Structure formats: C-alpha cells, structure tokens
Copies of this chain bind each other. A is one copy, B any other.
Amino acid sequence: MICIGVLLLYLAISKNFEPLLLVPIGFGGILSNIPGVDIAVGQGVLHQFYAMGIETGIFPLVIFMGVGAMTDFGPLLANPKTLFLGAAAQFGIFATLMGAVALTETGLLEFSIAEAAAIGIIGGADGPTAIYVAGQLAPHLLGAIAVAAYSYMALVPLIQPPIMRLLTTEAERKIEMTQLREVSQIEKIVFPLLLLTLVAFFVPSAAPLLGMFCFGNLMRESGVVDRLSDTTQNALINITTIFLGLAVGSKLRAEQFLVPETLGILVLGMVAFCIGTAAGILMAKLMNLLSTQKINPLIGAAGVSAVPMAARVANKVGLEANPHNFLLMHAMGPNVAGVIGSAVAAGILIMFAGGG
C-alpha cells in the first residue's frame, strides 16, 4: 500500500500529474499505512483533519469557493450555448452510476445506490465535487474515488484525443470559430447571482457547492473586495488544499483501499471519462445540425470539466488539424460549464441517494 503512495508521489513529481493534490494525498496515504502508530484513525492527526474538514464538508466547499474566485466566466458569457456541452458531458456521471449498479446486478461487486452515485461523480471530472459527494455518500470509498478523479484528470491528454479523433471528421476538427465578444464587468457580476437564483429554484440541494462557488466568483468580479479575493485564491485555497489532501490520504489505508471495489471504481471512473468526453462531442455535432453558427465539436470534449486541462487538449487537437485554429478560449466555456453541470448533478445525487 505504501508503494501506491510512492507511485502517486512519483506520478505527481515526475510526471506532473495534478501535483497540488496528489503530493498531499500520496504522502498522506503513506503516513496512513505505517504500522504501529495511529495517524489516520482515532486521535491521529490525519483522522482529525478528515473529521474536521471532510466529514463536515468544509474543505471541499472552501476549495470550491477558491475555484470560483479563480474562474473567469467571460468565455461562457460570450457564448452561453456552450453550456449545452457542459450538460451533455455529465452523461458520463449517470452512465457510470448505471454501470456500477449493473456490476452489482451481475454479482461481481456489490454497490449500494449511494455508493454507485459516489462512483459516478468521478465522471464529473472535478476534484472537490467528487470529494464532497463521496464524503457525503460513501466515505469508505473516498480514497479510491479521489485517486481516480485526480488521476484521470491528469490523464486527460491521453484519454481524450483518441475519442476525439474517432468521433469527429477532419473537416469538423478544422472548423474555426469566430472571436468571442468582450463581456462587460456588470454581466460578470450579475452572472453568479443569476446562477445562484436558478439553483435555489431548481436544485436547492446543489446550493452548498454552487453557492460557495458563486460567492468566490462574486468576490472576484465585484472588484470591491480584492483583498478577500486574493487571499481566497492564494493562502486560503493553498492551506485548505494541503489539509484536504492529507485528509483524503487518510482514506488510503490498505484495509479500505486494497479491496476489489477499488478496481471496480478505477475501471468505472475511466469509463465515465470516456463516455463524458464522447457525449460532449456528440452534443456539439448535434448542435451543428440544428444551428447555422458552427462550433468545432472538439470543444465538446472540454465539457467534462478537468479545468483547464481538457480545454488545452481541445486546443491541441484542433491545432493538429488546422495550425490557425486556436480553440483554447472557446473551450473554456464548456469547460467551466462542466463544473456547473457536475455540481448540479452532485446536488441531485446527494438529495436522491443521501436519503435512500
């Protein structure tokens, strides 16, 4: 088990796999598996971090506030239709949930509906959302789910391109998109409030996650609390990341992690990413059928979230087809739309499966 911690550290340090999370998670995993001392259980310090930050939901919510303070909704506001791509890519979440239930039906593994929902959220491709949902619905699977979510987010440059090439024609990949319009400051200020209002009406169970996200974004855009916004984007999110990572690491204890379920989770998580990617691309193609203003279907793949990696992958694959095709900004729209989409899905899963 300590080897897995070392492997995570190796991937983080040497391969630059989501190091901000995988260094603390990997190290925490090593600490948790030292025999003869209680670090990840009882009064151990990592278990205390877990109890105060993940059981309560505080750490992922604070991270989400920080992510909100780092997010620029400009590209999304310039082209709101990319929200459809962020919606479609969440199909990966629900397909995986079905997959987990199907595995249970076959008798290979046994997942409750809450566990299946927590596994599905890996397809949301959003770290804090996955940790928040798993912490609420299936704490005993949190280690595997977090590791899967962050690993696959790091692997997006390997996972997505083959699917993108398979589902698009050369001509589609060459589509150039018109430059995005300037978005005014007032639109950026009103948007988080608008989003929160709709959440309050339609999916209140997503309000903790999206509320903190919108709060962070409002601090950023309002322009009157820059010192709070700066601290949120730096000291506060960094401190929380360290303790969140160590706390997640406390769930990598061998007796909880080295179980057949973990293998199932890793496989299902990969499936989730693939389906999400495919659904985003296919939605983009569908939109092109219905509209005259064409979009490059590659940016549909960015709808899974995995900010900003997925957007960069879309850009890179687009450049391969057409060296003048800069999709990065266009892909940021579905990319942040994916964050919203998976937070909405998370709210529904918690409401539905948390009581079940």
Contacts and interface: CB of A to CB of B under 8 A. Distances in A.
Interface string A312-333: 0000000000000000000000
Contact of A30 (B2, B37, B48, B196): B196
Contacts of A256: none
A8 to B, nearest CB: 12
**Copies held by the complex:** 3
Contacts of A45: 56-58, 61, 208, 212
A327 B304 CA distance: 57
B239 A235 contact: yes
A67 interface: no
A15 B230 CA distance: 21
A227 B234 contact: yes
A9 B223 CA distance: 12
A48 to B, nearest CB: 6
A239 B196 CA distance: 23
By size class, the interface of chain A is 35 or more
A48 B56 contact: yes
A346 to B, nearest CB: 13
A238 B242 contact: no
A215 interface: yes
Interface in A287-306: none
Interface in A210-244: 211-212, 214-215, 218-219, 222-225, 227-228, 230-232, 234-236, 238-239, 241-242
B43 A224 contact: no
A207 interface: yes
Contact of A242 (B6, B36, B189, B232): B232
A205 B37 contact: yes
Contacts of A234: 227, 231, 235
A116 to B, nearest CB: 23
B224 A16 contact: yes
A37 B204 CA distance: 6
A44 interface: yes
Interface in A175-226: 189, 193, 196-197, 199-200, 204-205, 207-208, 211-212, 214-215, 218-219, 222-225
A34 interface: yes
Interface stretch (A19-27, A81-89, A163-171, A257-265): A19-27
B219 A39 contact: no
Contacts of A223: 13
Given A23-B228, A235-B238, 4 more contacts: A13-B222, A27-B214, A39-B207, A45-B212
26 contacts: A13-B223, A13-B224, A16-B224, A20-B225, A20-B227, A23-B224, A24-B228, A31-B196, A31-B207, A34-B200, A34-B204, A34-B207, A34-B211, A39-B208, A45-B57, A45-B208, A45-B212, A227-B234, A227-B238, A228-B238, A228-B242, A231-B234, A232-B238, A235-B235, A235-B239, A236-B242
